[in-house]
Amino acid sequence: MAFARLATIVALAFTTVTVNAGLVRRVTCSNGKTTTNAVCCPLFDAVDFLQANLFDGSECGEEAHSALRISFHDAIGFSINGGKGGGADGSILVFNQTELAYHANGGIDDIVADQFPIFQTLNQQMNISAGDFLHLAGAVGTSNCPGAPRLQFMFGRPAPVAAAPDLTVPEPTDSVTDILARFADAGFSPAEAV
């Protein structure tokens, strides 16, 4: 008898899960693609634009690697203790005259030169923030590379209000202690930093 009741409860639980899964509403965007949130519809066109204009038709090339690199340099400006930049806000694009002068951002100028006109075009078309652009490009570029993970993208970053301060990007010449301390200040454990 107890087994029959347990079987009934389990069956009802699975039915509830199945019914709830079927209730997820899908929205059809103007381009025919579907999503669960209409706010995401413009991102389909943005991804197509990035693939065509930045990533040479979805290649895992230098631009894909550069997109991930610049998204890291932009994001690491964050500090859980405050006093640093906003992090992941696109300040490296918007305040590039300031942030490109930082020693740790050496070599990023070419990436900014490649991405800034594409950002401007997308910003005019869909009012995407610099942070959303940079981190969408990083996620899309990474997904172009075989064996790479698909990075989660969170949409809705506000525009940056200031440049990230200097010395927020760890350098290869920094000690392990300093690098781990900087990553800890950005919210990463030592295992996550490695």
CATH number at residue 187: 1.10.520.10
pTM above 0.85, yes or no: no
Domains: count for the chain: 1
Its domain, for residue 159, covers 42-193
65 is catalytic: no
* Residue 132 within any structural domain of the chain: yes
pLDDT value of residue 194:
84
7: CB partners within 8 A, 6+ apart = none
Tell whether 91 is in a known binding site: yes
- Residue-level pLDDT at 5: 53
| Domain contains 11 | no
Catalytic residue selected from 65, 73, 103, 135: 73
Q: Quote the CA–CA distance of 55 and 45 in Å, as a whole number.
A: 14
Say if 17 falls within a structural domain. no
Q: Is 90 annotated as a binding residue?
A: no
Measure the CA–CA gap between 47 and 122, rounded to whole angstroms. Answer: 10
Flag whether 133 is in a domain: yes
For residue 10, is it within any domain? no
Summarize pLDDT for 106-164 with one digit per residue, the tens: 999 999 999 999 999 999 999 999 999 999 999 999 999 999 998 999 999 999 999 99
Give the C-alpha separation, 159 to 132, whole Å.
9
Say if 177 falls within a structural domain: yes
Indicate whether 21 belongs to any domain: no
66 in a known ligand binding site: no
pLDDT for 15 equals 42
Q: What band does 86 get if pLDDT is binned at 50, 70 and 90?
A: confident
Does 37 fall in a domain?
no
Q: What is the mean pLDDT of residues 72-91?
A: 87
